[in-house]
């Protein structure tokens, strides 16, 4: 396992974004009895605003506090935002508890509303996994046909085998699945790339958005996932790193907000007084599903 070396640009970006002061949400709730089965909510003033359920990153280990500034920013863009917590690796979570909680989140919190399930980094992995739950064997406790309305994966981890091979975040993938002895046995039920390899689609409208100069998640993960997902839409932001996507007001975050509104339009949401900014995104060429 080699040590990860990043540029000064990536190091400064990571420090800048992850040192932002957490933002207290106006509403808090619970979806279960465990202390981690909670959520923060930023309700929109417009009762018809699109719902976004936001899954945080942190390599399945860290809590949601680093994503509260971004959640608050999305709320300021007119979106109705839920930011749940869940049991995490290294503590009460990992396999199966983390997956139990995320399945419960998407089965409970939308309350029948259409929504975009968005996730950053390992949260993107969990969002892509949620989209693929109908591909699990019928006997799996996570199998369901009640899938997210749509999924936006932000700089996601898509391939747990590659994550283990590359030693990302000091063996985070191994920790998630319970170590070397259990990794291969558990992988097929929780790895987005594996689940898609034969099916070629989840049936859920999905966008993968990432920065062209992301140094946290290897760019091969995005390309390899796109190669097995026939109707995936990919958006690549030039000159953008991993963390700028969740930095309030940054061009990457503005692109995320704009993409969320575009995706929400597919289930009838319309942004009042739209003042879309003029940043230019580069689409990789895969078309959005009609």
Closest to 284 in 3D by CA, of 217, 222, 239: 222
| Domain ranges, ordered by start, for the chain | 8-283
Arch. (CATH architecture) of 8-283: 3-Layer(aba) Sandwich (3.40)
Q: What pTM, to 2 d.p., does this model score? A: 0.93
pLDDT 10s digits, 85-118: 999 999 999 999 999 999 999 999 999 999 999 9
**Cα distance from N-terminal residue to C-terminal residue, the chain:** 43
Supply the pLDDT for residue 277. Answer: 42
What is the rounded CA–CA span in Å between residue 194 and residue 118?
20
Supply the pLDDT for residue 116. Answer: 98
Supply the pLDDT for residue 269. Answer: 75
Supply the pLDDT for residue 41. Answer: 98
Average pLDDT in the chain: 92
Q: Evaluate if residue 192 carries a pLDDT over 90.
A: yes
Q: Evaluate if residue 276 carries a pLDDT over 80.
A: no
Interacting residues of 17 by C-beta distance below 8 A, sequence separation 6+? 66, 243, 244, 246, 247
């Amino acid at each position: 396992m080699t040590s990860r070396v990043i540029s000064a640009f990536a190091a400064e970006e990571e420090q800048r974004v992850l040192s932002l002061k957490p933002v207290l949400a106006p509403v808090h709730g619970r979806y279960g009895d465990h202390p981690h089965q909670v959520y923060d909510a930023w309700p929109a003033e417009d009762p018809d605003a699109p719902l976004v359920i936001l899954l945080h990153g942190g390599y399945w280990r860290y809590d949601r506090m680093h994503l509260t500034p971004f959640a608050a920013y999305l709320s300021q863009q007119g979106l109705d935002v839920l930011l749940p917590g869940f049991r995490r690796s290294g503590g009460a979570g990992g396999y199966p508890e983390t997956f139990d909680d995320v399945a419960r989140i998407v089965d409970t919190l939308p309350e029948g509303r259409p929504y975009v399930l968005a996730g950053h980094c390992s949260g993107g992995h969990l969002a892509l996994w949620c989209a693929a739950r109908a591909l699990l064997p019928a006997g799996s406790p996570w199998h369901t046909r009640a899938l997210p309305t749509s999924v936006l994966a932000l700089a996601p981890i898509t391939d747990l085998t590659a994550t283990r091979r590359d030693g990302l975040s000091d063996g985070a993938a191994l920790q998630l699945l319970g170590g070397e002895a259990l990794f291969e046995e558990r992988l097929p039920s929780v790895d987005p790339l594996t689940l898609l390899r034969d099916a070629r689609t989840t049936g859920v409208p999905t966008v993968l958005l990432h920065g062209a100069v992301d140094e946290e998640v290897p760019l091969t993960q995005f390309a390899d996932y796109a190669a097995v997902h026939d109707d995936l839409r990919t958006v690549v932001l030039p000159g953008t790193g991993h963390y700028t996507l969740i930095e309030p007001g940054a061009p990457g975050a503005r692109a995320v907000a704009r993409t969320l509104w575009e995706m929400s339009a597919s289930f009838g949401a319309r942004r009042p007084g739209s003042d879309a900014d003029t940043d230019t995104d580069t689409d990789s060429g895969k078309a959005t599903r009609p």
